Structure 1
Amino acid sequence: MSLAFKKETFRDDYTYQNSPKAIKRFPFPFAEDTYMYSVNIEPHTKGPVGAVTEFAFDIDEHYVAECEDKAKTLALDAGRYQALPHMAEAQWDFLELTMESLSNDYPDLFSLKKDGLLWTWENKPLGIKNTFTFGDSTSFDMDPMEYMGRQVQGDFVLLDQRNGTLYADAGFITSQADWSLAFDVGMAWHEWHGPVPQVTKLGVMDRALKFLMALQLGAPVRRLNWTMTINPRLDTSPENYPLWGGDRNKVTIDNVGELVHLRVELQSLFRLPRSNAILFSIRCYLINMNELSTSARWAKRFHRVLKSLHPDLVEYKGLTKFKDLTVQWLSKKDDGAEVALGTHP
């Protein structure tokens, strides 16, 4: 697979942008003109060629820049990676899954050679090559989850299954949408998801937990989630709120197209073989309103979704300060005609 990696930034001068190809494959999350929080889980099977769901872990034109941004975030706050001691086996499960997936799906970019427990991993885009003993904690100068978390786009949480629920007992989180790993690590399922509005009333989290507790090895699942952010910033963590929170006050009707971004998460869950833990993969995609509006269908649909969004969700997703301006801006793209079904441009 041939990819041209872009030189860009997700902070400070914000030079991130999507090529026409990246816009076309963006995972637009709305199949209807309204939105309410739901489980919306489907099998994580091989998607169409070129789609973000084609492979288990998506690698795109932003790969090198995102990995560089991960390293910057970790250098400023090493606590973005945390793992409780009993998750050691699950970390090696994570390393194996990511190495095998990337080397099988992107053989021009990654390779993995095995000689018993002696493995050689090569990451050509990042210039990394290591020979190590699988399962040996002294193989790297960091934990295996951190080692591979730095080399795969997105965030990762390892969920331990015990006592009839799931616990977020390890995580590599550098691009979270306004939540804190330091606060959530070790929490049970309902504690972790407690702040999400409407879900208790609708029983969404109870159903999701029951479903995931029965997740089978070799049968991963996925869903799309979304929020919005100002500027193409990956790290919108509570710890760094002073660096990005004030940007919400900078939106005007004249700069909505450039500053306001739809932020979509492709969330995938995999049962792991040795530890029986579940890997929760959270891959973030960003697109500003100018780029989104190159699809008339997307612009119309997103206008209608935002206009009708439940007030609790507006507040929970942090959209209050710029939602109305974005609706006003998008209204110019919506001629009132019916939006054709489907989620692609």
Structure 2
Amino acid sequence: MKQLKEDIDEFPFPFKSNDPYRFSNNSIPLNPPISIDVTSKYIEEIKLKRDLLKTVHNRCYQSTPDTYEAQWEVLNLVMHHLSDMYPDRFKLKKEKDHWSFTNLITNETESFIYRDNSSLTLEPLDVIGRHVQEDLLILMEKDNELYLEAGQLCFPGRWSLVFKLGMTFLEIHQPIPEFNDTGLGDKIRRFLLNLEAGNPFERLNWALTIGYHLDTSIETFHKWGHKQKEVTPENVGSLVHLRVERQKLFRLPKSNSILFNIHTYLLSFEDLVQNPEWRSTFYDIFTNLPDYILKYKGAYAYKDTLIEYLKKFQQHA
């Protein structure tokens, strides 16, 4: 019960009552302007991250040579946020360019010379990414366009870093229905281009997934894709999960790039229905979603089963 309470307390429920969901730019100013969240699942998720980086590193980490300046900025930002916000768990000591970062949870210390690539055994982004639950991505701005140029991505929501590396912002999001056709994509692209250093934003993105799987990369589709067909009235509550990504955007002043980080949360519907307000709000929104959104969010195949499951609780509310 303690873990369930923590899961619900930490879960960023993405919907508001009486607010129909459609694709939009729902970014809001990030307050407080902190890039990282440490939750009760820290140890579990860091272990999973590192296991993936050990076994399929090329799938989970990619970068281009011109991203080192931005990578050091990300390392700088995240280490300071961790040590400032969680001083009982992380320490950062600096003597001019000689830095020492200690993770008291894992009992590890990273010592290096700031901005000296040779002082690290891994690239800066790959180093700091192993100490946070978030996936970390770098968008480089070139000729008034944004390109995905580096990332440590262990928990993707049905996409591939290897495939998307080097793509523009609009190319990356091309699979989203109506994203480019309606002008929404260009509107968000212009919003990102105007993002200012010192004024970060955040947004919540959501989907449905089967089972407790943080890693739903395209490369592992054979492991989880078929499970949609396994949803039944008996197991829908335990099998179907609401997947929410808390996404944060920081303009990095020296490189003029953007840090896009993603903290992924999962909550089964048998746990979600324990919160009456969430249950009612989700039911109202879900039952009014058009099919094209249901398909994109991974819910079309079992939508009726999930609706019937939720309806039982609505009737007894």
Q: What's the TM-score bracket when you normalise by the shorter of the two chains?
A: over 0.9
In 1, distance between residues paired with 2:142 and 2:17? 37
Aligned-partner residue type, residue 189 of structure 1? F
Structure 1 segments unaligned to the other structure (5+ residues): 1-16, 47-53, 338-345
What percent of counterpart residues are identical?
38
Aligned pairs, number = 314
CA RMSD between the two structures:
1.6
Q: Are the aligned partners of 1:73 and 1:235 in contact in 2 as well (CA < 8 Å)?
A: no
- The residue that corresponds to 1:101 in the other structure is 81
- Provide TM-score, normalisation by structure 1: 0.88
Task: State the one-letter code of the partner of 2:21.
Answer: Y
- Spell out the pairing of 1:220-231 with structure 2 (5 A cutoff): 220-231=200-211
Shift of the alpha carbon at 1:164? 1.3
Range that drifts further, 149-158 or 173-182? 149-158
**Alignment match of 1:329 (pick from 286, 309, 316):** 309
> TM-score, normalising length from structure 2?
0.95
Quote how far apart the aligned CAs of 1:200 are.
2.3
Q: Which residue does 2:12 correspond to in 1?
A: 27
Q: Kindly indicate whether residue 277 of structure 2 is the aligned counterpart of residue 297 of structure 1.
A: yes
Check whether the contact 1:18–1:287 (CA below 8 A) recurs between aligned residues: no
The offset of 1:202, in angstroms, is 3.1
Specify the code of the residue in structure 2 equivalent to 1:41.
S
Q: Distance in 2 between matches of 1:273 and 1:18?
A: 39
- Aligned structure 1 segments of 4 or more residues deviating by more than 3 angstroms: none
1:281 deviates by 0.6
**2:47 equivalent in structure 1:** 68
Which residues of structure 2 form unaligned runs of 5+? none
Quick check: 1:42 aligned with 2:42?
Answer: no
Structure with greater helix share of residues: 2
The residue identity in structure 1 corresponding to 2:23 is Y
Deviation at 1:189, TM superposition (A): 1.1
**Does structure 2 conserve the Cα–Cα contact (< 8 Å) formed by 1:70 and 1:150?**
yes
Over 3 Å counting, the alpha-carbon distance change for 1:259 and 1:30 in structure 2 is same
What is the CA–CA distance in structure 1 between the aligned matches of 2:227 and 2:119, rounded to whole Å?
42
Partner Cα distance (1:131, 1:238) in 2: 35
For 2:233 and 2:142, the matched residues in 1 are separated by: 50
What aligned pairs does 1:1-345 form with structure 2 within 5 A after superposition?
Answer: 18-33=3-18, 34-46=20-32, 55-79=34-58, 80-335=60-315
Q: Distance in 1 between matches of 2:70 and 2:274?
A: 42
Residues 96-126 of structure 1, C-alpha deviation per residue, up to 9 Å, x if partnerless?
0110000000000001011110001000111
Worse overlay, 193-202 or 175-184: 193-202
Q: Secondary structure of 1:100's partner?
A: helix
- 3-state SS of paired residue (2:109): strand
- Are residues 293 and 318 of structure 1, via their aligned partners in 2, closer, same or farther at CA, if it must alter by over 3 Å? same
Offset of residue 245 of structure 1: 1.2
Q: CA deviation at 1:131?
A: 1.7
One-letter amino acid of the structure 1 residue matched with residue 97 of structure 2: L
Alpha-carbon distance in structure 1 between the residues aligned to 2:201 and 2:231: 36
